[in-house]
């Protein structure tokens, strides 16, 4: 007989996610992805000046900082016909690139690794053995020293002796499926702590160009920062040189620490390349950081990351890449606590509605999935199908497009791990894809984007703002725009309609909405749900320690704050929802 299990809340993510499961014989048979967080931002921008919108929608999330601002600005620029200078676009590329590299490192070490790394076991590790293990897996990270490993071992032992596990409280450290030997756990915990230090370098890049972090400053038509290599009041030579150092440091960390660690863990947990498959459909408009104003097929607004053209892959057929068509995107609310005026239909984002219709039980509740509606998250579909977005989708598209560096890294990793390309659609595949993408992104940042920016500076190009479309008098009386940006968690699009110089309609379709949404009117599961219960074979050994489903859900890097973002435009209460 099937047993019911609730995991609430899912921790080490952004926002509030609840997973309800039915299990039988140590396997997951049914799954429901439930966003229980209700918050607001998106519709508050209606009636406002579109040049100000980025500052509001950037607050959709404090983790995905910058990406919503850039997506908003590009959508508005698409609507009003603004054409930012190349240097402004390169600055945005550097902000997006540094944020993406930082995000992937944070996800691997601080949000996901503890599903595979037993922190308590690190206290039993021999420091010299940890150094030897790092060398054996090909890690040349400068922190792999006997002194550092000894320091970390003693620190972990001190935490255990104190009885206060701090950030490691609540882990399932007694779970039998932790497989790494103590020296590997010690090395991984040391790198976990090193990654905390690494974050500072990457976050400073966005801070220099945006003035602060999180939520840096941006500008419709370009960038808010000015450039003059000879003046202290602007972006100058000293800051440019420092950014070059930080970018080099990031590439070093990714290449010598992150990628070897990811491959090592994936090798020990190789069975997870056969666990956690979601729909074998993928959508991406390019590599990470790819930015388009309007339809990518005819957009003249491109970034340094668009070597791989947009595409959609159905049923894992890499030899038949479909052209991407924005008109094939629809959002459903069949399983969500919203209603559409036209009934149970899918709506294009340009015509989107966000009307609250809560039908769930009064909290606290024990089970939500007995009702057709069980989440605050909409369910996007492309041409009627649930698709995966994110690092896995981008890596598979880049591989199918023949991107040389991606093919090289993927083929080398597959050979080392003994896996096939088909096995990338899995929990292990999403871990590997994120590491592959982090390396290619860091290389593009260091070898293409930043050098081009510097070369332009040497040629005297310091222009970062298009003045021709700043005044509303230069805009059409009615205009619509959209943007597509490949950010850390996947494809992000913003859609805006401007009338009389004010925002008349606004929608954002974010990566986590694509992935975490529930069932549609045809009963088609969202990718989270499919990854857990698609074939009825996903393991769950101990319901009291549901480590296996956490590994799969964490592999998507959920950001529920991005997935739910509505508010009455006047700021008035739409509906009282007790929690």
pLDDT tens by residue, 256-289? 999 999 999 999 999 999 999 999 999 999 999 9
What is the 3-class SS of 350-414, one letter each residue?
A: HHCCCEECCCCCCCCCCCCCCCCCCECCCEEEECCECCECCHHHHHHHHHHHCCHHHHHHHHHHH
Q: What is the pLDDT of residues 47-106, one digit of tens each?
A: 999 999 999 999 887 677 799 999 999 999 999 999 999 999 999 999 999 999 999 999
CB atoms within 10 A of CB 283: 27
Angstrom CA distances, 155 to 165, 195, 460, 553, stand at 11, 16, 51, 30
Instruction: Give the pLDDT confidence score for residue 110 in this predicted structure.
Output: 94
Show me where the domains of the chain are located. 3-217+227-332+375-563
What is the rounded distance in angstroms from the CA atom of residue 50 to the CA atom of residue 327?
A: 23
Instruction: Give the pLDDT confidence score for residue 432 in this predicted structure.
Output: 98
Is residue 578 over pLDDT 50? Answer: no
Instruction: Give the pLDDT confidence score for residue 334 in this predicted structure.
Output: 97
The highest-confidence range among 169-173, 357-361, 387-391, by mean pLDDT, is: 387-391
Confidence at 42, pLDDT banded by 50, 70, 90: low
pTM here is 0.95
Q: What is the pLDDT of residues 400-458, one digit of tens each?
A: 999 999 999 999 999 999 999 999 999 999 999 999 999 999 999 999 999 999 999 99
Instruction: Give the pLDDT confidence score for residue 169 in this predicted structure.
Output: 87
CA angle 204/210/212 to nearest 5° reads 65
Is residue 568 over pLDDT 50? Answer: no
Instruction: Give the pLDDT confidence score for residue 567 in this predicted structure.
Output: 40
Q: What is the separation, in whole angstroms, between the first and last Cα of the chain?
A: 32
Confidence at 157, pLDDT banded by 50, 70, 90: very high
Is residue 194 over pLDDT 90? Answer: yes
Is residue 325 over pLDDT 50? Answer: yes
Q: Considering the chain, what is the average pLDDT of its residues?
A: 93
Instruction: Give the pLDDT confidence score for residue 546 in this predicted structure.
Output: 97
**Topology given in CATH for the domain delimited by 3-217+227-332+375-563:** Cytochrome-c3 Hydrogenase; chain B (1.10.645)
- The single residue listed with the structure tokens 């010299």 is 128
Is residue 303 over pLDDT 80? Answer: no
Q: What is the pLDDT of residues 534-550, one digit of tens each?
A: 999 999 999 999 999 99
Instruction: Give the pLDDT confidence score for residue 547 in this predicted structure.
Output: 97
What is the rounded distance in angstroms from the CA atom of residue 146 to the CA atom of residue 494?
A: 49
Question: Once rounded to an integer, what is the mean pLDDT over residues 293-311?
Answer: 84
């Amino acid at each position: 007989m099937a047993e019911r299990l609730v995991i609430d809340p899912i921790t080490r993510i952004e926002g509030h996610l609840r997973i309800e499961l039915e299990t039988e014989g140590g396997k997951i048979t049914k799954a429901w992805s439930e966003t229980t967080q209700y918050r607001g931002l998106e519709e508050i921008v209606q009636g406002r000046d579109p040049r100000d919108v980025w500052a509001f929608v950037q607050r959709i999330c404090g983790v995905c900082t910058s990406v919503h601002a850039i997506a908003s600005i590009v959508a508005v620029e698409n609507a009003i016909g603004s054409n930012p200078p190349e240097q402004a676009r390169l600055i945005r590329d550097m902000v997006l690139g540094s944020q993406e590299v930082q995000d992937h490192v944070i996800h691997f070490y601080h949000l996901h690794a503890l599903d595979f790394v037993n922190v308590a076991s690190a206290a039993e590790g021999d420091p010299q053995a940890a150094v030897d293990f790092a060398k054996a897996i090909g890690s040349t990270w400068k922190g792999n020293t006997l002194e550092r490993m000894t320091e970390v071992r003693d620190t972990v032992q001190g935490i255990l002796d104190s009885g206060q596990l701090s950030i490691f409280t609540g882990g399932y450290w007694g779970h039998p499926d932790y497989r790494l030997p103590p020296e590997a756990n010690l090395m991984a915990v040391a790198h976990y702590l090193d990654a905390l230090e690494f974050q500072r370098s990457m976050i400073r890049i966005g801070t220099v160009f945006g003035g602060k972090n999180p939520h840096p400053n941006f500008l419709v038509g370009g960038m808010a920062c000015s450039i003059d290599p000879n003046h202290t009041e602007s972006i100058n030579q000293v800051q440019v040189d420092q950014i070059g150092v930080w970018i080099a440091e990031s590439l070093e960390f990714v290449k010598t620490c992150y990628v070897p660690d990811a491959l090592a863990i994936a090798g020990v947990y190789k069975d997870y390349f056969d666990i956690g498959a979601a729909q074998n459909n993928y959508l991406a408009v390019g590599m990470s950081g790819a930015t388009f104003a309007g339809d990518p097929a005819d957009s003249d607004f491109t970034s340094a990351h668009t070597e791989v053209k947009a595409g959609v892959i159905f049923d894992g057929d890499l030899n038949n890449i479909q052209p991407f068509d924005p008109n094939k995107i629809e959002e459903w609310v069949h399983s969500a606590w919203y209603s559409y005026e036209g009934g149970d239909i899918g709506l294009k984002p340009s015509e989107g509605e966000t009307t609250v219709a809560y039908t769930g039980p009064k909290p606290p509740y024990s089970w939500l999935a007995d009702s057709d509606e069980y989440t605050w998250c909409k369910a996007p579909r492309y041409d009627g199908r649930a698709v995966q977005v994110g690092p896995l989708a981008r890596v598979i598209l880049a591989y199918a497009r023949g991107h040389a560096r991606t093919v090289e890294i993927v083929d080398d990793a597959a050979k080392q791990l003994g896996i096939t390309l088909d096995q990338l659609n899995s929990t292990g595949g999403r871990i590997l894809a994120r590491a592959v993408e982090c390396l290619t992104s860091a290389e593009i940042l260091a070898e293409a984007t930043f050098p081009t920016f510097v070369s332009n500076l040497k040629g005297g190009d310091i222009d970062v703002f298009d003045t021709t479309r700043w005044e509303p008098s230069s805009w059409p009386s009615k205009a619509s725009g959209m943007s597509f940006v490949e950010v850390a968690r996947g494809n992000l699009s913003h859609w805006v309609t401007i009338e009389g110089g004010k925002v008349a309609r606004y929608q954002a379709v974010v990566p986590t909405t694509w992935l975490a949404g529930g069932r549609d009117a045809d009963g088609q599961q969202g990718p989270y749900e499919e990854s857990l219960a698609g074939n009825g074979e996903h393991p769950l050994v101990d319901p009291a320690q549901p480590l296996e489903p956490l590994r799969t859900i964490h592999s998507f890097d959920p950001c529920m704050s991005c997935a739910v973002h509505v508010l009455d435009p006047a700021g008035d209460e739409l509906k009282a929802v007790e929690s």
